[in-house]
Chain A
């Protein structure tokens, strides 16, 4: 026994017992996967995954590929931000994909122009002539409001009607998809205004995703809202005893998730230049998978926005990597499935090891 124990009540700083942030593991996994694609690419395709091997030697990296890696996960990533805080609070949200479909239809109905990008006249306005060429703020506000309402309904059902989150959001999933199909009876909405098309043009989805990720990170990490969210996810009874207004908080959590789904819907319909009732199909599962890969525990109370962002990146790298290796899309799905399960197995294993150590 060394003398340093004195004054520490028998506790001693032991670097071996220090917890590595779980995000670090996910980040290592990301590096590993990127490395694997780089090596496989050099071996089998004769090209680099990350670096520029083309005649344009002005850039070190293959910029188009880096861009699409992020771009193709940005929209689902926005949903995943909302899903992350829902899961941290001990809940689940199955309705996010359907809310995307419903909001895409509602928002684009208010975003129609009288002529399309090719200068052709819009002969069949969805809401009538009076609703053409509205200011950009109208579709955005209407869309976000629709998402907010869906989220508040989810939250109220869970918090006040005491319905399990799985069932409440399953109901909303079916209902919102119904709304999406009902809006125009399945007819796609085109002839969108140029100002609306700007929202999701180019790399804008990525910028919106990053901005929202920073905001959500701040919210969860540094505010009372965030700390209480973790608290009810870890132990709802204890949180209630310590004076947290659990019901109100839950409504707020699902409301924010609803708004984020609405943002994703607006960005997506803008990027595709169309509103379609099938939009966002199965996105809820992709969003949950991103969070889970990023170390968010489905048991609640554990996880972070940073982790989810890395989880989203892993998703993007896999999609682009398989295209790069010229492998069929079927393998992509298989790999995605394996990685989701693998991430959880690793996470469980790490948690057990930690529990054994302390």
Chain B
């Protein structure tokens, strides 16, 4: 059952929620924007987990408006709620919310979007639940390293690295992690042929960059891309140049529909899945612990999941 309601009918819903189970809690999920694919999977995951554990949960849409989200939280506090789960509109401006929640002594779990600075969660019944960006690039490159080893290329593999938009933290983090893996004893046979280049997350940019790389005629064994779109662009460029995709290990991040299709078709070798539903469930679980007064670490991380040919089938409909 969907309990999506508007802020206007908030009071009725909150006071009307009658606890059925002894440890059942009244929860609220304050999303930054309902109309977002990732957020939808996230809050559906939270909803399902809450229902399965006998909690009631209402969902609120801030419609990407920071002011509205603050009003929603204050309304919840005024009407009485056991705990709130917040996907912040502006993660650098959550201080008004944490202050109000702290004063009222209401536990809060920030999900998916990391409050800046994270220290403001100390001293209150607060936690942050998300996936740790450090994992995605590491998982990806390490899996590629293993595959190259399995293909007998451990005496030296050469390749390229496509970075995302450099103003974006994920691009910098994933690139740094990929480089770190390539520095490990086990994987330092991987070597970049050309300087890492930004494809700005875009398929078409990556396509052109890859074609330029191909024009140098240098032999190569792998292409690391900070996201799936760029990996797909590189694949399209290589296929256009008549390169067999069996001879190149290509890795992306995101596990988008197109990427999974390309993996199914044998073109893409590695991608990484950010489990939105598990983040939602983890947020509800953490909120329940905070209500019960259990000790919870400030940052709770839901692991990224590596997707490869071996386990792709269980991911094919996860984005839907």
Contacts of B215 in A (CB 8 A): 62, 64-65, 67-68, 320, 323-324
Contact partner of B217 (CB less than 8 A), chosen from A64, A119, A279, is A64
For A95-120 the 0/1 string (1 means CB < 8 A from B) is 00000000000000000000011111
Distance of A201 Cα from B240 Cα, bound (Å): 8
Contact partner of A118 (CB less than 8 A), chosen from B35, B241, B264, is B264
B191 interface hit (Cβ, 8 Å): no
B-side interface size class: 20 to 34
**B142-150, B206-214, B274-282, B283-291: which lies at the interface:** B206-214
CB-based contact B203/A323 at 8 Å: no
Which of A75, A116, A117, A323 gathers the greatest number of chain B CB atoms within 10 Å?
Answer: A323
CB-based contact B208/A68 at 8 Å: yes
Given the known inter-chain contacts A118-B264, A118-B265, A329-B197, please indicate yes or no for A274 contacting B212, CB distance below 8 A.
no
Q: How far is the CB of A330 from chain B (nearest CB, A)?
A: 9
Distance of A329 Cα from B198 Cα, bound (Å): 7
A202 interface hit (Cβ, 8 Å): yes
CB-based contact B203/A120 at 8 Å: no
**A130-138, A183-191, A289-297: which lies at the interface:** A183-191
* Dominant secondary structure at the B interface: helix
Contacts of A67 in B (CB 8 A): 211, 215
A273 interface hit (Cβ, 8 Å): yes
For B167-196 the 0/1 string (1 means CB < 8 A from A) is 000000000000000000000000000110
CB-based contact B216/A323 at 8 Å: yes
CB-based contact A72/B197 at 8 Å: no
A36 interface hit (Cβ, 8 Å): no
Distance of A64 Cα from B216 Cα, bound (Å): 8
B137 interface hit (Cβ, 8 Å): no
A206 interface hit (Cβ, 8 Å): no
CB-based contact B264/A120 at 8 Å: yes
CB-based contact B197/A268 at 8 Å: no
Which A140-169 residues sit within 8 Å CB-CB of chain B? Answer: none
Distance of A116 Cα from B256 Cα, bound (Å): 15
CB-based contact A278/B212 at 8 Å: no
Given the known inter-chain contacts A116-B261, A117-B265, A323-B216, please indicate yes or no for A71 contacting B37, CB distance below 8 A.
no
CB-based contact A328/B264 at 8 Å: no
Q: How far is the CB of B268 from chain A (nearest CB, A)?
A: 11
Contacts of A335 in B (CB 8 A): none
Since A64-B211, A328-B197 are in contact, a sample of 13 more A-B pairs with Cβ atoms closer than 8 Å, ordered by chain A residue number, is A64-B214, A64-B241, A65-B216, A68-B211, A68-B214, A118-B261, A190-B257, A190-B258, A272-B203, A276-B202, A323-B197, A324-B215, A326-B194
Q: List 8 A-B contacts (CB under 8 A).
A: A54-B217, A68-B208, A190-B261, A201-B240, A279-B204, A323-B197, A323-B212, A329-B197
